[in-house]
Amino acid sequence: MDYEKFIEDQIACIKQTVGGEKAINALSGGVDSSLVTVLGHRALGERLRTVFVDSAMMRKDEPEGVVKIFADMGIPVEIVDAREQFLSALAGLTDPEEKRNAVTDTFYSKVFAKLVKESGAKFLLHGTILTDIEETVAGIKRQHNILSQVGIDTEAAYGYGVIEPLKTLRKDGVRRVAKLAGLPDEIVNRIPFPGPALATRIVGEVTPERLEIVGAATVIVEEELADTGAFQYLAVLLNDRATGIRGNKRQFGRIIVVRCIESTDARTATVTQLSWKKLNRICERIVQIEGVNRCLYDLTPKPPATIEYI
């Protein structure tokens, strides 16, 4: 595939579709939305408004870090604080599908609908990739960013059209194009992080306290596994608890699952064969998180497991 031509074609296509109108896009800092941001700014310049929605479900210090990277490239990004909206939409929900729907609905019909109205944008640029579409259509997983493919008419529902410049690429293709488009390596090689972010890393209810636990575990896992070159690594907080001992007393503690996988396109994955030194070190750090007394390593390839838990 001619990736240079792909870039030119997509920029031309965005220009043509948007015409003289304005567009908007949400940047998460992952490679997909980062590439869309770059393509969109080349096509539209100041007519593209790029926002970073702080959903309270991002990694620690993520909003400021991502804004800084794009500022260095001359692309302005606004941070939108939507933490309260996401947290209240998720309160009390434990069913994975309901949680995903709450995130999708809050993102598109609440937070985005308002931004679109304010800005007068007629189009939303979106980082959907081929694997997202395939898995959603196959019924494996409802990706948060799949709308038209599951029958949501965005113009009727939300008041804007959706443009998906990456929908013919898989993750490996996105990384090549991102590199070619001049994105820095820390974005090009960034491990995938799902749109509903830490909400997909929590089995059971999403609460500020539980977000804090899984966030702390995510920091540890990313620090410890950055040098593995693995495709993706993550920490999951289970809803189950297990007995343990703290200060010689019984503690009914929380359980963190660590997952680290090898893959090229996320369609299939094998488990990274970490050394025991590394596994022990991760466990030691994880069980120092307040209330956590178990650390498990996921041994399951995809299939039969998916990469994420919900």
- Of 80-109, which residues contact a second copy (CB under 8 A)? 96
Of the residues 191, 251, 262, 265, which one makes contact with a second copy according to CB under 8 A: 251
Phi, psi for residue 302 in degrees, rounded to 5? -110, 125
> Of 287, 80, 39, which is closest to residue 180 (Cα–Cα)?
39
Q: Which stretch binds a second copy (CB under 8 A): 47-55, 65-73, 138-146, 185-193?
A: 138-146
Residue 18 CA to residue 15 CA, distance in Å, equals 5
CB of residue 135 to a second copy, shortest distance in Å: 9
Size of the site for a second copy (CB under 8 A): 49
Helix 171-180 with 31-44: angle, nearest 10 deg = 40
Q: Is 130 in the site for a second copy (CB under 8 A)?
A: no
Between 63 and 253, CB nearer to a second copy: 253
Shortest separation between residue 170's beta carbon and a second copy, angstroms = 17
CB neighbours of 68 closer than 8 A, spacing ≥ 6?
A: none
Q: What DSSP state is assigned to residue 202? A: B
Q: Does 309 bind a second copy (CB under 8 A)?
A: yes
Site string for a second copy, 278-297 (x = CB under 8 A): -xx-xx---x-----xxxxx
x/- letters, 168..207, toward a second copy (CB under 8 A): -----------------------------------xx---
Contact (CB, 8 A) for 161 and 147: no
5 binds a second copy (CB under 8 A): no
Q: Which stretch binds a second copy (CB under 8 A): 103-111, 166-174, 190-198, 277-285?
A: 277-285
Question: Should residue 300 be labelled a site residue for a second copy when binding is judged by CB under 8 A?
Answer: yes
Applying CB under 8 A, among 238, 262, 265, 285 the residue interacting with a second copy is 238
AA identity, residue 17: T
- CA separation for the pair 10, 161 (Å, rounded): 16
* Residue of the chain from 20, 139, 151, 229 that contacts a second copy (CB under 8 A): 139
CA distances from 8 to 13, 39, 162, 184 (A): 9, 9, 19, 19
List b or e across 15-33, with b for residues whose CB sees 16 or more CB atoms inside 10 angstroms. Answer: eebbeeebbbbbbbbbbbb
Question: Measured between alpha carbons, how far is 135 from 137 in angstroms, rounded to an integer?
Answer: 5
Question: Which residues here bind a second copy, judged by CB under 8 A?
Answer: 96, 138-141, 203-204, 238-246, 248-253, 257-258, 271, 273, 276, 279-280, 282-283, 287, 293-306, 308-310
